[in-house]
Structure 1
Amino acid sequence: MAGHSKWANIKRQKAVVDAKKGKTFTQWSRAIIVAARSGVRDPAGNFQLRTAIEKAKAAGLPNENIERAIAKGGGTLSGDSSSLEAIRYEGYGPGGVAILIEALTDNRNRTAADLRVAFSKNGGNLGETGCVSWMFSQKGVCTVERIVDEEQLLEASLEGSAEFYEMTQEQIAEVFTEVVNLENLSQTLKQKGFGVTDAELRWISANNVEVTAPDQARSLLKLIDSLESLEDVQNVTANFDMSEELMAVMA
């Protein structure tokens, strides 16, 4: 089952190349608002909210911003959070690379227009719903550290109803499961003494496009940068492979 972590690896490499934060405070606040709106306001009883708060804190979002976002999502603070909706957009990048964009927006028309401009300026096209999503499947993924015995990881993963895992670095692995089982898997791994540094939903492509030409790579990374910089965009996923050497050239 190797290869499912390739986009995550590219994102990590790209972050080094870009040397910038992946999300703004506004984006993290919106994620917390939506999570608080979709369930209980107590993070202990709302896995989506708890995860959003943990990631927001890691990104440096102040506690007062977090508390305000929870209050907005719970309806105890005035604001327009009720109009926020989650939308998935789809399109093609240079060389036919498939791209999925997850957004939280209070204005569909504005978001679609901003995305269309970003695509057109960077050799891509914003497509219709369903044009590329069939190439991807969504999974729950736990990033696990402090692995000294793979047999123990295997046992814990099976107990947590995981589908498979991949070692990505020494003592670090990504454990994959069905979307609805992510919280159970995360809790099981923690109970078994593993350090779970991230738990997220990730789109995984069935087939990847190999990018080897520097010009194409440059245009593609610029497009993804443009998409990720949009305030309404929460996450961008693409089905391409790129060598570390080419990434270094792009730097």
Structure 2
Amino acid sequence: MAGHSKWANIKRQKARVDAKKGKTFTQLSRAIIVAARNGIPDPDGNFQLRTAIEKAKSAGIPNENIERAIAKGAGTYNDDSILEEIRYEGYGIGGVAVLIEALTDNRNRTAADIRAAFSKNGGNLGETGCVSWMFEQKGVIVIEGELEEDNLLEVCLNADAQSYEIINDEDYQGAEIFTSVETLEQVNSFFQNQGFNVKETELRWIPNNYIEINDPEQTKFLLRLMDALESLDDVQNVTANFDILD
């Protein structure tokens, strides 16, 4: 399961820090624009948009910025830039598969930036489809708080969730619930109605298998690559299939 990866744990910790940074504001605003463009610009009838707005509010984005992003997606705001959703694929050192989701108004710039990040850190940008077959897209519901596993299992079964993972980091307690893409909204509503503290809901690419990394030099290059990719303004999400061993 995805959360058992030490890299996944590192990424969760980074996300809590990055939520306070300006780059996250850009990412979340762009996610709202795309969600409003792909569906109706009304969060009550657009689950993707509602989820993007909830994330933006949790990160402290002002309401006026959220409303402007919705207007851009709906085409009612005068803005010449057109955002395009693109998925990039490549390999890190040791044959690690890397999947990158980007939102960009200039695909040539984004591809060049991503290619540079790979080449500087022992990897290479590949062709479309070269690694995506190693991942499966799932719905993920993040809940916070101390949990009783027997109760969580029962709720997961009743909600038709696929699986779960309890998280006990030093500064965080909760769980991640995994669903199919199609049932994410339904399972999310079920958990909210049962009184769980749902912190985040998203679609995520989950590796089918992990490559175990126990070489300190390889670990250094892979973490540098992840940081370099995630620091790019056009990059929304980065997923890789490696696990760091103790």
Normalised by the length of structure 1, the TM-score is 0.88
Tell me, yes or no, if the aligned pair for 1:10 and 1:242 is still in contact at 8 Å: no
Distance 2:17 2:186 in 1: 35
Contact 1:53 1:66 (8 Å CA) reproduced = yes
Partner of 2:148: 149
2: CA distance between counterparts of 1:179 and 1:227? 25
Identify the residue that residue 185 of structure 2 maps to in structure 1: 183
Tell me if the contact between 1:162 and 1:185 (Cα under 8 Å) persists in the aligned partners.
yes
1:63-142 correspondence to structure 2 within 5 Å: 63-81=63-81, 83-142=82-141
- Which residue of structure 1 lines up, in the alignment, with residue 198 of structure 2? 196
Write the letter of the residue equivalent to 1:176: F
Q: 1:124 to 1:201 in 2, by over 3 A?
A: same
Does the residue aligned with 1:104 lie in a helix, a strand or coil?
A: strand
Q: 1:22 to 1:164 in 2, by over 3 A?
A: farther
Match of 1:249 in 2: none
Q: Secondary structure at the match of 1:76?
A: coil
1:25-40 alignment runs, 5 A limit: 25-40=25-40
Q: What is the alpha-carbon distance in structure 2 between the residues aligned to residue 222 and residue 87 of structure 1?
A: 22
Deviation at 1:18, TM superposition (A): 8.3
Matches within 5 A, 1:220-235: 220-235=222-237
Q: Secondary structure at the match of 2:209?
A: coil
**Corresponding residue for 1:42?**
42
Paired residue for 1:240?
A: 242
Q: 2:220 — aligned with what?
A: 218
Give me the whole-angstrom Cα distance separating, in 1, the residues matched to 2:195 and 2:17. Answer: 33
**Other structure's SS at 1:24 match:** helix
Unaligned runs of 5+ in 2: none
Q: Residue 147 of structure 2 contacts residue 174 of structure 2 at CA under 8 Å; is this kept in 1? A: no
Please state whether the residue corresponding to 1:236 is helix, strand or coil: strand
Determine what percentage of the aligned residue pairs are the same residue.
67
Q: TM-score, normalised by structure 2?
A: 0.90
Go from structure 1 to structure 2 and tell me whether the alpha carbon gap of 1:197 and 1:24 turns closer, same or farther (over 3 Å shift).
closer
Q: Is the 8 A contact 2:19 2:59 kept in 1?
A: no
**Equivalent-residue separation in structure 2 for 1:211 and 1:22 (angstroms):** 32
In structure 2, how many angstroms separate the alpha carbons of the residues matched to 1:238 and 1:133?
A: 10
Which whole-Å CA distance do the structure 1 matches of 2:236 and 2:35 have between them? 13
Give the superposition deviation at 1:92: 0.5
Equivalent residues, number: 242
**Residue 200 of structure 2 aligns to which amino acid in structure 1?**
D
Structure 2 contact 39–46 (Cα < 8 Å) conserved: yes
SS at 1:193 equivalent: coil
1:60 alignment counterpart = 60
User: Residues 228, 214 of structure 1: CA spacing in aligned structure 2 closer, same or farther, 3 A cutoff?
Assistant: same
The CA RMSD measured in Å over matched residues stands at: 2.3
Distance in 2, Cα, partners of 1:155 & 1:96: 39
Deviates more, 1:56-65 or 1:120-129: 56-65
Please state whether the residue corresponding to 1:180 is helix, strand or coil. Answer: coil
CA distance in 2, matches of 1:134, 1:102: 15
Task: State the Cα distance separating 1:227 from its structure 2 match.
Answer: 0.8
CA distance in 2, matches of 1:156, 1:238: 30
- Contact preservation (8 Å) 2:20, 2:59: no
Equivalent pair of 1:22/1:228 in contact (CA under 8 Å): no
Would you say the 8 A contact 1:97–1:238 is kept in 2? yes
Partner Cα distance (1:3, 1:112) in 2: 27
